[in-house]
Amino acid sequence: MSDKTLAGAVALVTDAGSDIGAATAHRLAREGAAVALVARSGDRLDQVADDIRNLGGQAIEVTADITDPERACQAVQDTHDRLGRLDILVNNAGIVLLDTALHAPLAEWDRLIALNVTALLHLTHAAVPYLIDAAATSPRQVADLVNVSLTAGQLTGQGSSVYNLTRSGLEGFTESLRRELLVERVRVGLVEPAVVEPGLVNHFGTATRTAAGRPVGGREALRPEDVADAIGYIVTRDRRVAVSEMRVRAAERR
């Protein structure tokens, strides 16, 4: 029997070709989980999957546009069919686009809603029945759903109205879902990283990417592995322990 905490478990990570997604996939694989790597494009998925396999882990690539409900459902079904179960869902896909209501193209607002809200709902709706089943049949006696946001979603400012709409909504959705699924032994958590290095925000708009990657108040930027460690911590707790929210902030420079 393996001494790895997630041995026998299966995890699905969205936007797995991004820095946070790839780091999270590696973190979960090191804990023994088989990982389904989901992204709209397969450009980086092959490399991430190969890296995990070369280290002795198990990974599959699932290319899907999860803003399409049928493709999102199929991504979950493919994961279950190929890996046999689904114990962990990490909703990592998201984007930041900032502009004022006067100047923002409506297409950008639609894109924010589609990826930050609609896609997450599609994946979650499709995954919940499998997570409930996994909690009932797993030796761990628990399953996990982790949503990834940003602490910036709690702050309001010029040009952030629609982004804040998506992130404030995610916080409320996560807490309500946590209460709904508690009786099913499915833990629901929210991870909110703060200051990040530029590579962590390669799916931001150009202006947002520049601002987000800049050290703030003398603090070092977070690395993708820091966020992945937070996610790994949440899903490897004993079944008696549920971490409902974790904010990951950069420490002061010394």
CATH code linked to domain 10-242: 3.40.50.720
Residue type, 237: R
- Mean pLDDT on 79-101: 90
pLDDT-based confidence at residue 165 (cuts at 50, 70, 90) = confident
Question: Percent of the chain, pLDDT > 90?
Answer: 67
Domain ranges of the chain: 10-242
* Strand residue runs (E) in the chain: 10-14, 34-39, 59-63, 88-91, 143-148, 186-193, 245-248
pLDDT of residue 230: 97
pLDDT-based confidence at residue 160 (cuts at 50, 70, 90) = low
pLDDT of residue 107: 84
Average pLDDT of every residue of the chain: 87
Indicate the pairing of strand 34-39 with strand 59-63.
parallel
Based on the number of CB atoms within 10 Å of its own CB, is 157 exposed (0-12), middle (13-18) or buried (19 or more)? exposed
Question: For 178-222, what is each residue's pLDDT tens digit?
Answer: 999 999 999 999 999 985 555 444 444 444 444 444 544 556 778
